[in-house]
Amino acid sequence: MASQHEARNGLAGLRILLGVSGGIAAYKACELVRRLRDAGAEVRVVLTANAARFVTPLTFQALSGQPVRSGLWDEAAEAAMGHLELAHWAQHIVIAPASADVIARLAHGFATDLLTTLCLASEAPLAIAPAMNLRMWAHAATQANVAVLRSRGAVFLGPAEGRMAEPESGPGRLLEPHDIVAGLTALYGPKRLAGKRVLVSAGPTYEDIDPVRFIGNRSSGRMGFAVAQAAAEQGANVQLVAGPVHLTTPPGVARVDVRSAREMREAVMARAEGSDIYIGAAAVGDFRPHEIAPHKLKKNGGALTLSLDENPDILAGVAALARRPFVVGFAAETQNIETYARAKLERKKLDLIAANRVGEGHGFDACENEILLISRDGIERFARADKLALARQLVARIAEKAQAKNEGRGTGSESRRKLVPVRARTRTR
């Protein structure tokens, strides 16, 4: 996915055409213009007719410092810079917010207004930040249009999950402007994992009791999928071993689906020695029923006792390999996070462990997370942020530490220091 984005150091000097379509989230595009310019990009804004009902062209003109266009038939604007010239000017097109309608028109190659005409006439890479009602996003028609655009190389940034304009919650919200900028920067930033093979395991495992019941857990897989996406953005060749989850595969990531811990172990072990980095973000079930009943178990008026066997520890298995990759584990704890995580780091012979609090709205099944990254000689705090933003920071540090270890500099740049103060690496929101 990164191939169409020329290698450069971030967004400085990049000529970005920002398309704003109609929707209440259009107001957030104002802040996006400011942030893109802060990152050094040159921004020109094109509004759809509906977007101009929410925010005036004048606002965008003031923020971008450039004339704003919204119609194909504006003679004065055409005389200043023809629309084909504008299409050629753009080095990247970003549409934020992108409505279901714009996404549909782009997927089908319509050129019914200035924005869609520019998209068709430009060879610049396209990034789309959707914003719409959650049912519109989930609709099979929208999802099919998204798949078509992705297959042509468009990058989707979001949508985020959360509260919407209506009293509903779910995927469909426009990503926050700073997250859109982070996503674009990841496309154009230095590729810290170019040429590296990264193996990630994510999601829960299900252990069957009988043909209809299983023992599972509440892991959504979001953190592991975000880590896989962040590693792919950094240029890595990423393989993702996923337990049963309802998530779409991040672009550029090769996914293998598994169900039980033993299936996950098999899939991971088959790929571990060929990997440079293994990140075990899965919530692997510790126990499985001693045997799977061939038929649905029936009530018999009394208690049922299940006999459980312990599952193999995948992470420890990878760390014990003769040709082991750089091994990163996750620790989900409800208390004594640091102490328990450190014990796990030692016991499983890991290079790094990312510890987070679960329960009471933390970690599992949540969109946001907060992490302590612990190595043998240091600890670093990543403040609360959404999982993709956190994954990007985490992957950047993992890449740094894996390289340091490769070069014989211990587990990280601070390896010779005895104690590293806990410090916040992100803003708290």
> For residue 285, how many other CB atoms are within 10 A of its CB?
23
When the beta carbons of 313 and 414 are compared against ligand C5P, the nearer one is 313
Residue 217 bears catalytic tag = yes
When the beta carbons of 286 and 377 are compared against ligand C5P, the nearer one is 286
9, 50, 145, 217: the active-site residue: 217
> Which residue type occupies 74?
D
Size of the site for ligand C5P (CB under 6 A): 13
Q: In this structure, are residues 55 and 33 in contact, taking their beta carbons and an 8 Å threshold? A: no
Q: What is the DSSP string of 284-341?
A: --SEEESS--SS-----SS-----EEEPP-HHHHHHTSTT--EEEEEEEESS-HHHHH
Interface region with ligand C5P, contact rule CB under 6 A, candidates 55-63, 77-85, 328-336, 367-375:
328-336
When the beta carbons of 64 and 311 are compared against ligand C5P, the nearer one is 311
When the beta carbons of 98 and 314 are compared against ligand C5P, the nearer one is 314
When the beta carbons of 193 and 332 are compared against ligand C5P, the nearer one is 332
The DSSP code for 353 is E
By CB under 6 A, name the one of 344, 357, 397, 401 that touches ligand C5P.
344
269 contact partners, CB below 8 Å, separation of at least 6: 314, 317, 318
By CB under 6 A, name the one of 311, 356, 375, 411 that touches ligand C5P.
311
Exposure string over 11-48, b if 16+ CB within 10 A, otherwise e: beebebbbbbbbbebbebbbebbebbbebebbbbbbbb
- Name the minimum Å distance from CB 316 to ligand C5P: 7
> For residue 104, how many other CB atoms are within 10 A of its CB?
17
- Name the minimum Å distance from CB 266 to ligand C5P: 13
**Signed CA dihedral, 252, 201, 272, 183: sign only:** positive
Q: How far apart are CA 356 and CA 334, in angstroms?
A: 8
When the beta carbons of 315 and 374 are compared against ligand C5P, the nearer one is 315
By CB under 6 A, name the one of 315, 358, 374, 385 that touches ligand C5P.
315
By CB under 6 A, name the one of 41, 131, 198, 282 that touches ligand C5P.
282
When the beta carbons of 22 and 243 are compared against ligand C5P, the nearer one is 243
By CB under 6 A, name the one of 329, 363, 378, 412 that touches ligand C5P.
329
Burial class (CB in 10 A: 0-12, 13-18, 19+), 161: middle
Q: Does 330 bind ligand C5P (CB under 6 A)?
A: yes
- Name the minimum Å distance from CB 201 to ligand C5P: 6
SS (H, E, C) 250-299: CCCEEEEECCCHHHHHHHHHHHHCCCCEEEECCECCCEEECCCCCCCCCC
When the beta carbons of 131 and 358 are compared against ligand C5P, the nearer one is 358
The DSSP bridge pattern shows strands 214-215 and 207-208 to be antiparallel
- Name the minimum Å distance from CB 426 to ligand C5P: 22
- Name the minimum Å distance from CB 224 to ligand C5P: 9
Q: Which long-range contacts (CB under 8 A, 24 or more apart) does 301-308 make?
A: 306/209
Residues 215-274 touching ligand C5P, rule: CB under 6 A, are 261
Q: In this structure, are residues 165 and 44 in contact, taking their beta carbons and an 8 Å threshold? A: no
Q: How far apart are CA 308 and CA 384, in angstroms?
A: 36
307 contact partners, CB below 8 Å, separation of at least 6: 289, 290, 291
Q: Does 313 bind ligand C5P (CB under 6 A)?
A: yes
- Name the minimum Å distance from CB 373 to ligand C5P: 13
By CB under 6 A, name the one of 16, 17, 331, 371 that touches ligand C5P.
331
Q: Does 386 bind ligand C5P (CB under 6 A)?
A: no
> For residue 66, how many other CB atoms are within 10 A of its CB?
14
By CB under 6 A, name the one of 20, 39, 86, 314 that touches ligand C5P.
314
Interface region with ligand C5P, contact rule CB under 6 A, candidates 114-122, 159-167, 279-287, 406-414:
279-287
The DSSP code for 368 is E
Interface region with ligand C5P, contact rule CB under 6 A, candidates 46-54, 276-284, 292-300, 398-406:
276-284
Which residues are identified as catalytic?
217
**Binding-site ranges for ligand C5P (CB under 6 A):** 261, 280, 282, 284, 286, 311, 313-315, 329-331, 344
